[in-house]
Structure 1
Amino acid sequence: MQRRQRGVNTGLLLLFAQLYQFGLNNIPPVTLATLALNVYLFLNPLKNLHYVCISVEEGYHRGDWQRLLLSPFHHADDWHLYFNMVSLLWKGSKLEQRLGSVLFALIIAVFSQLIGVVYVLLELILAESMDDPSYRMQCAVGFSGVLFALKVLNNYYYPGGSTNVFGIQVPNKYACWAELVAIHILSPGTSFVGHLSGILVGLLYTHGPLRTILRTAVSLFSNERPARQQRFTYSGHRGPREPSLEEIRRRRLNRF
């Protein structure tokens, strides 16, 4: 698994243009730091993608759990980075404003690791139940699993409305499931199990014990109240636009 070589990273240039239009001073700090980390590791990867992607074989059998830490923050190519980071800009700006920077930082840290664990577990279950060893070798990188989890949170904290999924208006509370299926059908190289892992972790937060655990941790170790509404001033633009499924379909390795 190697990053495709390009003379010009068009996706990276478009990302910088989006960030410039939005204004760095308008991006909440944790969202900005997460964006910066992903861009930095794209430009200066710690290892070849083959050595950072997460799979049952490399993680569970060989015990290379360092991949849990590295895989979410490495991307296959500039377009993979672009679509994920624009989506993060859109979701992170809303959620960090709603939840506060400390809780949002904890969410990013926990989700990025927990999704990898769920991914390995699901792939292991598939390999055993279907007696298909190929599931043990499915190796994925990228931030999309976290973004699917953030989409679940976004729909939880901002309920109502609908999303256009290829001409069909889908209520937002079901949009993540519709997009999971649509992306898998239209972009087979993406990781269905990785995206599903993100949705499950998001539900573990919104309908399980994870939200209480993380909010309690914030209240114990920080003076910032978890429910605090932080406000950022957005001027001179209409905010970032999340990439549509049709755009994602055009530019898609097995990736989160």
Structure 2
Amino acid sequence: MQRRQGRVNAGLLLLLYQISQVGLQNIPSVTLGVLALNIFLFLNPVRPLSEVCISVNEGFYRKNWQRLLLSPVHHADDWHLYYNMISMLWKGIMLEKKLKSIWFAYIIAVFSVLIGVVYMVLEFMLVKILDDPSYEMHCAVGFSGVLFALKVLNNHYNPGRVSSILGLQISSKYACWVELVAIHLISPGTSFAGHLAGILVGLMYTMGPLKKIMKACTGIYLKKAVGHLRNYYWNSQAFQQCYYGYPGYQYRTPRNYYDYTGGLTEEEQLERAVLNSLNERGRNFIEIKRERILCKNLFLSF
């Protein structure tokens, strides 16, 4: 699985032309980032395609889990890149505006990894059902699995539409299934299991538990972040109290003698000091004890 060298990348040039026609300012940030990443890795691949594609043999048996991250963003040739990125361009423009950029980026990241896992499960099932070990060696590469999942999402959020596939008007509800079969018949070399994995992951999101799981994971992360911030704030306040004597301590510049004495004579100042001392003794003993223990623990932790 190697790229053909020594020729003009017509597909890449056409892709850049199409992007320029749409206008960079009209492409949402995450979609533009995905396009840029795939184009960059096509021109500067991390490794040869045979070392980034995902298969049961490489991913499961040899534990090359990094291929789950690398395989979606590498393409076999410039036309493979062109068709995938044009599809990503239009799907991204429609979905990112609806789902918002942060959540859309989260979806892209989760789908990219999960589709590779589902793909290996499907290939492993074919090995067992057909008793054909060759399916363990089938190595897939490209962003098309993620695009099939996004197509499911797009059809879910925009119901009632009609798609034209090979001249046939197909309801958007079934379009992804018809397209799956059509692509496999037209181009038998494409990964049927990879495309099917994309559809299944998309259905797991729209009809299954995947969306709830993703939201739950996001909630757990946010709770931890808020908890860390609260602990930091509380410890800062407690440290301030131990160090300065009370919360909210503010340094004040020295004032003149009259401000300190309030115009009182020495005898009056002494009398006021005795009264303040007696009032101070009336503080709650338990609170003072708790502050001392708290201060001790804080300083021991440093």
Smaller-chain TM-score range? Answer: 0.7 to 0.9
The alignment's C-alpha RMSD in Å is 1.2
Aligned to 1:142: 142
Question: How far apart, CA to CA, are the structure 1 residues paired with 2:182 and 2:213?
Answer: 33
Contact 1:103 1:214 in 2 (8 A): no
1:65 Cα offset (Å): 1.0
Aligned to 1:226: none
Question: How far apart, CA to CA, are the structure 1 residues paired with 2:220 and 2:62?
Answer: 36
- TM-score, structure 1 as length reference: 0.84
Q: Indicate the structure whose relative CO is greater, using CA pairs within 8 Å and at least 6 residues apart.
A: 1
Question: How far apart, CA to CA, are the structure 2 residues paired with 1:117 and 1:144?
Answer: 15
Question: How far apart, CA to CA, are the structure 1 residues paired with 2:220 and 2:35?
Answer: 27
Question: How far apart, CA to CA, are the structure 2 residues paired with 1:183 and 1:24?
Answer: 30
Aligned to 1:5: 5
Question: How far apart, CA to CA, are the structure 2 residues paired with 1:163 and 1:14?
Answer: 24
Aligned to 2:67: 67
1:216 Cα offset (Å): 4.1
Matched letter for residue 179 of structure 2: E
Question: How far apart, CA to CA, are the structure 1 residues paired with 2:216 and 2:4?
Answer: 43
Matched letter for residue 138 of structure 2: Q
Quick one: percent identity of the two aligned structures?
A: 65
Contact 1:103 1:215 in 2 (8 A): no
Aligned to 2:128: 128
Aligned to 2:171: 171
1:48 Cα offset (Å): 0.2
The structure whose residues are more often helix, as a share, is 2
Extract structure 1 runs of 4+ deviating beyond 6 A. none
Aligned to 1:232: none
1:215 Cα offset (Å): 3.4
- Residues 87, 101 of structure 1: alpha-carbon distance in 2 compared, 3 angstrom cutoff: same
Aligned to 1:248: none
Aligned to 1:45: 45
Residue by residue over 1:140-190, the C-alpha shift from the partner in whole angstroms, topping out at 9 and shown as x without a partner, is 100000000000000000111111111211100100000000000010010
The answer for unaligned runs of 5 or more in structure 1 is: 223-256
The answer for unaligned runs of 5 or more in structure 2 is: 223-302
Corresponding residue pairs, total? 222
Pairwise mapping of residues 1-256 of structure 1 onto structure 2 (< 5 A)?
A: 1-218=1-218
Residue by residue over 1:51-109, the C-alpha shift from the partner in whole angstroms, topping out at 9 and shown as x without a partner, is 00000111111111111110000000000000000000000111000000111000000
1:212 Cα offset (Å): 1.8
